[in-house]
């Protein structure tokens, strides 16, 4: 009985490079394949700009400090108009949350989704119904609204998640219209029909009631910061890397064993759930909601923010929200002409910078030193092909007579 002195598929990953090249049963192709299979589990991600720039850190801290005192700065600059401009900034923050949730679906997973306002509406109506009918507090309804929007997204997206491109886009447009019509028809007698729901309570946090634009400024932008942190963590997780792979090449991802349908469905549910959470903030801030607040044009607006800022870029989404939501308020005096100028600017931007204003940067991967040393010590392939050394001549060449 022959004793087995080693694994049939080659030495373990911890074997030194000289042992990889020593075994007679392993040719160069097996060595390279064995090394590549283990390499994927040892790549260390090195994101662009991972080295801290002290000047950038100081400017970022200074910007956050100014933003924290923005209500007081506005009060000193514009006086009585402060509540109006705080409302504008709060609206920018709310749309930033919504656009970041859409960015998971559109920017990271690459799915053309133009029905995001439907899940925004589900979250808002869930909060309003629980508060007005059952007496729930606003903060207690927030996780329920997110779960409701995510559950509806799971049910609706399950049969259509395999669709791609324009086909998925058309179906999601149908979703937002179905939800709007259902709300208008006063489904189950809970949504109030076309009149909507009135008298929604204000949120309270640790006994403090959030009522004024200044209060909502801090509440909304704290949620924006938490959203940035959460989605940044997701982007750099295994889940986020899988979504990037699917976005770049779905067929290649499937061939490498990635369950593309499951990851797409997960991205759809996560984005929809966070849109439902934003619906809670909207309902408590406005205190009145109706189906007209969640029309198809709202989905187009969110789609524009993500495309304008740069798909997959959180900083781009923030910039896009300020440009699409905040900037038109400065040109309100021009009335209809402001829309013409803004539309022309979008067309010019899409022609000369179709990737967006602040596109996401490709992640870099740093090879661990141990693996780099092993690759350096691998024998070079022979000149007769890339599959390793060719067969030895077992028959001597025929000599002439």
Among 24-33, 164-173, 281-290, the least confident range? 24-33
- At residue 140, does pLDDT exceed 90? yes
- The pLDDT of residue 338 is 64
To which residue do tokens 């309100």 refer? 332
- The pLDDT of residue 139 is 95
Residue that wins the pLDDT comparison between 18 and 278: 278
- The pLDDT of residue 20 is 44
The C-alpha torsion from 319 through 320 and 322 to 327, rounded to 10°, is: 120
Asked if 251 and 245 touch (Cβ cutoff 8 Å), the reply is no
Give percent of the chain above pLDDT 70.
76
Q: How confident is the model at residue 86 (pLDDT cuts 50, 70, 90)?
A: very high
Q: Which range in 15-19, 243-247, 284-288 is most confidently predicted, on average pLDDT?
A: 284-288
């Amino acid at each position: 009985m022959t004793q087995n002195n080693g694994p049939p598929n080659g030495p373990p990953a911890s074997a030194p490079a000289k042992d990889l090249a020593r075994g007679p049963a392993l040719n160069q192709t097996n060595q390279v394949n064995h090394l590549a299979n283990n390499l994927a589990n040892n790549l260390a991600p090195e994101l662009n700009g991972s080295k801290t720039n002290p000047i950038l850190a100081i400017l970022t801290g200074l910007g956050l400090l100014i933003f924290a005192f923005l209500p007081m700065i506005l009060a000193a600059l514009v006086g009585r108009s402060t509540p109006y401009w705080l409302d504008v900034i709060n609206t920018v923050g709310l749309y930033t949350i919504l656009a970041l949730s859409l960015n998971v679906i559109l920017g990271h997973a690459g799915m053309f989704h133009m029905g995001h306002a439907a899940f925004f509406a589900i979250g808002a109506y869930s909060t309003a119904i629980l508060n007005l009918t059952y007496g729930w507090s606003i903060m207690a309804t927030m996780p329920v609204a997110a779960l409701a929007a995510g559950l509806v997204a799971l049910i609706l997206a399950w049969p259509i998640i395999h669709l791609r491109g324009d086909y998925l886009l058309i179906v999601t447009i149908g979703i937002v219209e179905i939800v709007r019509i259902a709300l208008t028809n006063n489904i189950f007698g809970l949504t109030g029909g076309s009149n909507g729901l009135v008298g929604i309570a204000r949120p309270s946090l640790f006994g403090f009631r959030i009522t004024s634009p200044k209060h909502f400024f801090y509440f909304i932008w704290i949620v924006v910061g938490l959203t940035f942190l959460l989605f940044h963590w997701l982007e750099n997780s295994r889940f986020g890397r899988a979504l990037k792979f699917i976005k770049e090449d779905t067929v290649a991802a499937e061939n490498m064993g990635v369950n593309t349908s499951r990851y797409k469905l997960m991205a759809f549910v996560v984005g929809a759930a966070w849109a439902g959470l934003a619906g809670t903030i909207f309902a408590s801030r406005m205190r009145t909601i109706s189906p007209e607040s969640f029309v198809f044009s709202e989905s187009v607006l969110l789609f524009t923010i993500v495309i304008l800022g740069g798909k997959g870029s959180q900083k781009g989404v923030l910039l896009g929200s300020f440009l699409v939501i905040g900037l038109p308020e400065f040109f309100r005096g021009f009335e209809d002409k402001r829309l013409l100028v803004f539309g022309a600017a979008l067309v010019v931007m899409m022609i000369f910078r179709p990737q967006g204003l602040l596109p996401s940067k490709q992640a870099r991967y740093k090879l661990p030193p141990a693996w780099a040393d092993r690759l350096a010590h691998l024998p070079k392939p022979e000149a007769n092909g890339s599959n390793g050394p060719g067969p030895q001549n077992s028959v001597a060449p025929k000599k002439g007579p």
